Structure 1
C-alpha cells in the first residue's frame, strides 16, 4: 500500500511542481474534501480500509425506560462529522485527520491502545478499528481527480 502511494506521488510530483501555488492549494483542498467524504462513508459503513468489518463492541446491558425501544448504537457516529474530521490543504500538503479532543479517542481505536472509558474506570484494551486509511478505491479516486483537474 505504501508503495502504491509512493508511486502515485512520484508520478504526480513532476506535474504538480509545474503548477502555481494557488492552483496547487486549490487542488489539495478539493482532494482533501473528496478523501474526507470517502473516509466518512467508510466509517459510517463500519469498515476498515481493507474492507473487513470493524470488530463489534463489547455487549452491554443498556436498560432504558419501560416501553421504549432503543436503537442499536453505531460506533463513531459523531466522530465522522465535519466538525471533528477535518480536511486541510495548502500548496505543499494535504491532510485529513481528527481535530481537538476526539483525536485521542480516534488514536486509541486506530492503533488498538489501552484507555479508560471514564475517569475512574479501569484501563481497557480496545480493539483496532482503522478509522483513517487508504483503500484501493481512495487511491483510484485521488488519481482520477488529479487527472481531471490537470486536464481541465
Structure 2
C-alpha cells in the first residue's frame, strides 16, 4: 500500500486527538439536555463541512435550527457524513472522558468538567463548535434529529 503525503496530512487533521477539542467546545457552551450525547455525532459532520461551517461562523444569538436548514446545500449528505464520522466521534468522546474533560450522566446528558484544550486546535473549528451550540440551544435532541432528516444513528 502506497500512501502519499496528502494521506498522512488527512490522517493527522482528522485524528480524534485533533478534533476532540471541537466536541468539548460544543459541550462547554451548550446547555445540559437529556440525551445530549447524541448531539456529539452531529458536531464533526457539520463543523467539517465547508458550507455548514460558513453558516456557523456567521451565526449569532438569533440564529436557529430553522435558519440553518433554510438552504438545503448545507445539509446535503449529512446522513452519510454522520455515519462516516461515527467512529471518529466515538474515539474523541472516549478521549474527552479519559482526560476528564466531559462527564456523561445516566440520562445520557453531557456536561463539560474540564477546560477545553485550545493550544493545538483549529480556531475556526472551535468557533464553529461553539456556534452550533447556540443554534441547538432552544431545541430538544429529538427535534434536532427530526428537523435535520436523520432517522437513525
Instruction: Give the TM-score normalised by the residue count of structure 1.
Output: 0.30
Which structure: greater helix fraction?
2
Q: Looking at CA atoms only, which structure, 1 or 2, has the larger radius of gyration? A: 1
Which structure: greater strand fraction?
1
